[in-house]
Amino acid sequence: MFCMKCGQQIPDTAKFCSKCGAATGVQDAAALHDAVHTANETPPQAPPSQPHAPAQNQQPAQQTFLRKGKTERWTDADFNTEQENFRALVGPNASYYLEQFFNIQEKDERKTNWAAFFLGLYHAAYRNMWREYVQMCYIPFLITQASGLLGLFAIASFSFNLTTLLIPISIGGMIGTGVRHIQFAMRFNTMYMHHIDDMLHGRVPHQPGANGKAAAISVGITLAVVFIDNLLSSAVMMSMLY
């Protein structure tokens, strides 16, 4: 081979040029063997590890459940148990009412209960809510009944001034009863949720979710009131004729 610096011909194994002394870059066989052996035995280094993000505290899956306006947290197991208890207390149409309860609690959505709107006292009695219905409607209902009966006697006694006074009072009582009836239907789901919650947590005695007997009694009471009204009206009319 030739020296890369001065061009002098030198042996192939020479490490340095014999003329200029420049290094030729040739390694002896032993050194080359050691270098290759060392390279083969060196284990490959793993790439630098990336820093791990700090582990976040894992919270158990939870649902929101409401008791009398207070938000509480439940685990899935507790929530499922509570839901089953609700279904047992509500009885028929439990899925509908459970959905309404959640809408009230989490979305603040309150929908009118159309069964309560069309059936009124009968649906309230069927769901053991007749006390709430009576509390909301009894005052305008009594005003209507009282003014109507007094109006009949006023007509029978030919007291037209009193009759003129009682007619608007009776009409006002009927309007008031209708308004309270509508309000009851609009608030029914919320009141029913609290009623079921009270039973669930022992604040009131347990009652059947659907009480057909109470609904039948409410129908009987209504028929009795209508019968008495008609009987009194007939008596007044007969007194006017004779």
Summarize pLDDT for 42-97 with one digit per residue, the tens: 555 555 555 444 444 444 433 444 444 444 544 445 556 667 777 888 888 888 88
The pLDDT assigned to 81 comes to 67
At a CB cut-off of 8 Å and minimum separation 6, what does 83 contact? 98
At a CB cut-off of 8 Å and minimum separation 6, what does 205 contact? 199
The pLDDT assigned to 58 comes to 42
The verdict on pTM exceeding 0.85 is: no
Angle, CA of 115, 119 and 125, to the nearest 5°: 95
The pLDDT assigned to 47 comes to 54
Helix (H) or strand (E) holding 228, with range, is: helix 212-241
Structure tokens at 173: 């009582």
The pLDDT assigned to 34 comes to 54
The pLDDT assigned to 168 comes to 87
At a CB cut-off of 8 Å and minimum separation 6, what does 192 contact? 97, 113, 127, 129
**Phi then psi for 29, rounded to 5 degrees?**
-65, -40
Q: Which of 7-11, 158-162, 164-168, 190-194 has the lowest mean pLDDT?
A: 7-11
